[in-house]
């Protein structure tokens, strides 16, 4: 949605430079660091040459107005994304009028959701046309089975249900048939509500009053209130001054941190940690990843030659003060390849290639 503060928030999240005025709107890629005080604490313990937090990539695409959602389907920058982040405007401004004449974040959120659904309905109908033509020619069982899946999708979309609420209820075989498609309403959605300073101080009440809290309670959605002007002001301050500013506003943490963390959690991602004199680092994996596959996020050789993982929970390492102390306490464990890695595990992989 134009005039929502979307590009401003993208620039604040990623440090990207604003595009020149008057240029043609194009998709822009930026990287944000996932806030993780555990990496900082490990760096204080090990004094490494560098520290590296986990990263989330964001793509800033041109704003969408009513009737423009179908254009998103063919936007290459969106085909491979794992989730969508929709910035809706909840602030008043005499100098920046809302394109629709009034500020109504729930209306805008529903408008984009409907645009995504209509775009997906067009895709589903085109695929069904091809399948019907193929079935008339050859009547292959695979095409018949796939047609049944797409008829289910079409029915849901015609009822204005996003596919993120539908696909989890399909069988594993049915979901496999959809993996080569990039349905937009199937993707998890973070709804970022860009508020004025007064509203963000009482964000929970504002979200409830506007109806956004109920709207975003649906599966596969997250809700995140921010105030772009406040975030822009804090970005110019030192860490101590920014902290004092937040305390004055009674804000527990930067809004940008909430956006990044909401993106990370909605995608079902967690971080395990490695620590040493060379580097302290957070590594991103999906929830449920086993130790051998987690090793592969560092290097394929470690996965291939995996022997064991030395594992200690971050909190236990901090309490003990060192890995040597963890060994003495018995909190440093040896785990095999099928161990399911937990968020905050500090791991040293033993391998032989």
Q: What's the confidence (pLDDT) of residue 74?
A: 58
In a domain, 43, yes or no: no
Task: Give a yes or no: residue 228 inside a domain.
Answer: yes
Q: How far apart are CA 353 and CA 342, in angstroms?
A: 26
Classified as helix, coil or strand, 257 is: helix
* % of the chain with per-residue pLDDT over 70: 93
- My answer on whether 224 and 125 are in the same domain is no
Per the prediction, the chain carries an average pLDDT of: 89
User: Based on the domain organization, do 29 and 70 belong to the same domain?
Assistant: yes
- In a shared domain, residues 201 and 173: no
222 plus 329 within the same structural domain: no
* CB-based contact 274:281 (threshold 8 Å): yes
Q: Which residue segment(s) compose the domain that 312 sits in? A: 288-351
Length of the chain: 353
Query: Mind listing the pLDDT tens digit for each residue in 73-130?
Result: 656 667 778 999 999 998 887 777 787 778 899 999 999 999 899 989 999 999 999 9
Q: Within this chain, do residues 87 and 193 fall inside the same structural domain, yes or no?
A: yes
Q: Is 253 exposed, middle or buried (0-12, 13-18, 19+ CB in 10 A)?
A: exposed
Percent of the chain at pLDDT above 90?
Answer: 57
Confidence of residue 67 (pLDDT cuts 50, 70, 90): low
Same domain, 59 and 31: yes
In this structure, are 31 and 162 located in the same domain? no
Residue 271 covered by a domain: no
Write down the pLDDT at residue 75: 64
Nearest by Cα to 187 from 224, 222, 147, 151: 222
Averaged over 207-218, what is the pLDDT? 93
Q: Would the pLDDT of 17 be above 80?
A: no
Structural domain ending residue among the three candidates 150, 185, 220? 185
307-322 pLDDT per residue, tens: 999 999 999 999 999 9
DSSP state of 161: -
pTM for the whole thing? 0.84
According to the model, what pLDDT value does residue 283 have?
Answer: 97
DSSP strand pairing (333-335 vs 306-313): antiparallel
d(CA 6, CA 104): 16
The pLDDT assigned to 248 comes to 84
168's tokens: 């989890």
- For residue 76, the model assigns a pLDDT of 67
Residues 29 and 94 in one domain: yes
What DSSP state is assigned to residue 165? G
Mark which of 200, 232, 266 sits at the end of a domain.
Answer: 266
Run of H or E including 137 = helix 105-137
pLDDT for the residue numbered 41: 96
The pLDDT value recorded for residue 124 is: 94
Rounded to the nearest 10 degrees, the angle between the axes of helix 239-248 and helix 228-235 is 150
Better pLDDT: 37 or 68: 37
Same domain, 207 and 223: yes
**Predicted local confidence at residue 293, as pLDDT:** 97
Domain count, the chain: 3
- The residue behind tokens 């560098």 is 50
């Amino acid at each position: 949605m134009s005039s929502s503060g979307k590009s401003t928030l993208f620039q604040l999240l990623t440090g990207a430079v604003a595009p020149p005025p008057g240029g043609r709107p194009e998709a822009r890629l930026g990287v944000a660091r996932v806030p993780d005080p555990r990496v900082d604490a490990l760096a204080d313990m090990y004094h490494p040459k560098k520290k590296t937090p986990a990263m989330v990539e964001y793509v800033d695409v041109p704003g969408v107005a009513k009737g423009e959602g179908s254009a998103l389907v063919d936007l290459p920058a969106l085909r491979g994304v794992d989730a969508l982040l929709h910035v809706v405007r909840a602030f008043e401004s005499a100098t920046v009028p809302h394109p629709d004449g009034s500020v109504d974040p729930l209306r805008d959120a529903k408008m984009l959701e409907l645009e995504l659904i209509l775009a997906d309905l067009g895709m589903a109908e085109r695929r069904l046309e091809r399948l019907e033509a193929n079935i008339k020619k050859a009547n292959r069982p695979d095409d018949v089975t796939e047609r049944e899946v797409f008829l289910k999708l079409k029915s849901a979309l015609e009822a204005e249900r996003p596919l993120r609420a539908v696909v989890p209820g399909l069988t594993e075989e049915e979901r496999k048939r959809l993996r080569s498609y990039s349905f937009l309403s199937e993707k998890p959605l973070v709804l970022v509500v860009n508020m004025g300073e007064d509203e963000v101080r009482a964000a929970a009440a504002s979200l409830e009053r506007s109806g956004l809290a109920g709207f975003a309670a649906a599966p596969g959605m997250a809700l995140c209130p921010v105030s772009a002007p406040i975030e822009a002001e804090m970005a110019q301050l030192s860490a101590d001054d920014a902290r004092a500013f937040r305390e004055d506003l009674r804000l527990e943490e930067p809004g940008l941190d909430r956006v990044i963390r909401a993106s990370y959690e909605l995608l079902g991602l967690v971080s395990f940690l490695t620590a040493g004199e060379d580097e302290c680092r957070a590594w991103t994996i999906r929830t449920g990843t086993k130790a051998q596959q987690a090793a592969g996020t560092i290097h394929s050789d470690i996965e291939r030659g995996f022997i064991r993982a030395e594992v200690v929970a971050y909190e236990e390492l901090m309490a003990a003060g060192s890995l040597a102390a963890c060994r003495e306490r018995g909190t440093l464990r040896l785990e095999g390849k099928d161990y399911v890695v937990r968020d905050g595990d500090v791991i040293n992989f033993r391998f032989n290639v």
